[in-house]
């Protein structure tokens, strides 16, 4: 029976949970007209249970290891006719470990992730900057297709 409880706790801890969302808007000047891009970022926290429960008189080695990743959805419009979507992902923007069972550490982990909100915002802005070249290439391609 104890083994089933342990397996259930491990599985429950491994499920990813969303922590918070981020938003950013960019307008880029282009020869074909302004490109309006909306970015929506979502932080996802995944946990993994490690260690074992200590037997009587021995310390427990239970730990909840967590990793927070950032996924950014981009929607862009060039004029009235062209729109594009793209998904950008950054794994392991933040990570850490807490003692005990993952299911009892959820609130504490969420607070740790929330405290690193500026790190996630910085990671999102870096992804937006990296996406700029792809966005301009899509606009150039669309403009070239409209000429011929």
State residue 55's pLDDT score: 82
CA distances from 134 to 27, 34, 104 (A): 14, 15, 42
The predicted structure's pLDDT at residue 20 = 64
Q: In terms of pLDDT, which residue wins out, 147 or 38?
A: 38
- What pLDDT does 148 receive? 46
Contact assessment for residue 74 and residue 131, using Cβ atoms and an 8 Å cutoff:
yes
pLDDT digits (tens, 9 = 90+) for 38-94: 999 999 999 999 998 878 888 889 999 999 999 999 999 887 767 889 999 999 899
Q: In terms of DSSP bridges, do strands 63-78 and 17-28 run parallel, antiparallel, or are they unpaired?
A: unpaired
Q: What is the DSSP string of 64-125?
A: EEEEEEEEEEEEEEETTTEEEEEEEEEEEEEEEEEES-GGGSHHHHHHHHHHTHHHHHHHHH
pLDDT band at residue 125, thresholds of 50, 70 and 90? Answer: very high
Task: Tell how far CA 54 is from the center of its chain.
Answer: 34
Q: Which two tokens stand for residue 67?
A: 């990793």
Average pLDDT over residues 117-135: 92
pLDDT at residue number 4: 42
Mean pLDDT, to the nearest integer, of 6-31?
63
Mean pLDDT of the chain: 83
Residue found under tokens 């880029």: 28
Specify the residue for token string 């922590």: 19
Residue 78's pLDDT is what? Answer: 81
Q: Name 4's Cβ contacts closer than 8 Å, sequence gap at least 6.
A: none
Q: Which residues pair with 44 in a beta bridge?
A: 18, 69
């Amino acid at each position: 029976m104890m083994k089933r409880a342990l397996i259930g706790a491990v599985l429950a801890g491994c499920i990813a949970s969303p922590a918070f969302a981020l938003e950013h808007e960019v307008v880029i000047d282009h020869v074909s007209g302004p490109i309006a891009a909306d970015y929506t970022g979502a932080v996802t926290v995944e946990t993994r249970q490690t260690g074992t429960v200590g037997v009587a008189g021995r310390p427990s080695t239970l730990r909840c290891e967590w990793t927070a990743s950032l996924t950014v959805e981009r929607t862009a419009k060039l004029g009235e006719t062209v729109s594009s979507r793209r998904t950008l992902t950054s794994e392991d923007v933040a990570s850490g470990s807490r003692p005990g069972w993952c299911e009892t550490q959820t609130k504490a982990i969420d607070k740790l992730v929330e405290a690193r909100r500026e790190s996630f915002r910085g990671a999102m802005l870096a992804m937006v900057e990296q996406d700029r070249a792809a966005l301009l290439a899509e606009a150039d391609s669309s403009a070239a297709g409209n000429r011929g």
